[in-house]
Amino acid sequence: MTDKKVYIIHENDDWTKHLTKRLDQLSIPYDTWFLDTGIVDIQETPPVGVFYNRISASSHTRDHRYAPELTSQVLPWLESHQATVVNGSRAIELEVSKIKQYLALQKAGIQTPKTIAAVGKEEIIQAAKKLDTFPFIIKHNRAGKGLGVNLFDRIEELEDYVNSDFFEDSVDGISLLQAYVKPVNGRVYRSEFIGGKFHYVVSIDSSDGFELCPADNCQIPSEGQVQSTPDKFQIVEGVLSKEEIHKIESFLKAENIQVAAVEFIVTADGQKWAYDVNTNTNYNADAEEVAQKFGMLALAEYLGDLLAKI
């Protein structure tokens, strides 16, 4: 069959062009489905190919408010036809809900910070009081790129923030109050998995704040910002044990997720705390060049192998 393709389901050309470059390099046929808006005709039969979902929880920050909702209808349609889907319905479900991520991680025996969800300004304050852990952070249930994360030492600071014009509600209306876990040496870690298998760990300097998007276009400073230092992203060895890697791989298999990053913090006592599952993972080109490990190339090879089996 000569007309089969890899179909990339996405809403961000800047994040997708690095993958299509590798697919071109490997002469793997592909098409892109830009799902910010669209039509789903469930009577139709989808084309033959591999369908890779790259829709991000942060789509609303690019004016693609309903891309995840649209994708959550397209994926079941594909799955109903037994299509080969990478990061299917369960992946998009976890991508847009950190609460669901934490529940799934905990079920797999992976430690997450103490977290309480709340809807409503007064409920946010009550949730922080119930959390009763200091310092603490507020974050969005559906976010991406670390947006909407703020650190507080006292309830009164949170009250001032929530009742101010600076308060930024989550796009789904759900705020999370979470115990702050202090990273050792100010760095957090992002473990990358491709085809359900461990690829590498990147160490990220978090001293500049919580917005830790590794993609190249995220590293271009806006006016008044300082360019990231060369060591902000470093691919490192030995952070996760074989047992910890196996546990994450088992988690991804149980949730039917093939491509993802699990982000975690290592504390001074050596404990690891997972705080995000990113099913629209990106890779930092500078860090990969130093380590000579290339995520998009490995991903393109994986998609090509799946395509060859159809």
pLDDT digits (tens, 9 = 90+) for 8-45: 999 999 999 999 999 999 999 999 999 999 999 999 99
8 Å CB contact between 166 and 128? no
- Our CA angle for 92, 96, 101, nearest 5°, is 90
Q: Quick check: helix, strand or coil at residue 61? A: helix
**Separation of alpha carbons 90 and 208, rounded Å:** 32
**Separation of alpha carbons 4 and 162, rounded Å:** 51
The model's confidence at residue 206, banded by pLDDT at 50, 70 and 90, is confident
Residue 286 is predicted with a pLDDT of: 95
Residue 210 is predicted with a pLDDT of: 56
Amino acid in the structure at residue 300: A
**Separation of alpha carbons 243 and 254, rounded Å:** 16
pLDDT per residue as tens digits for the range 246-270: 999 999 999 999 999 999 999 999 9
8 Å CB contact between 262 and 276? yes
pLDDT at 222 over 60: no
- pLDDT > 70 fraction of the chain, expressed in percent and rounded: 92
Contact residues for 238 (Cβ-Cβ < 8 A; gap 6+): none
8 Å CB contact between 144 and 290? no
Arithmetic mean of pLDDT, 78-82: 98
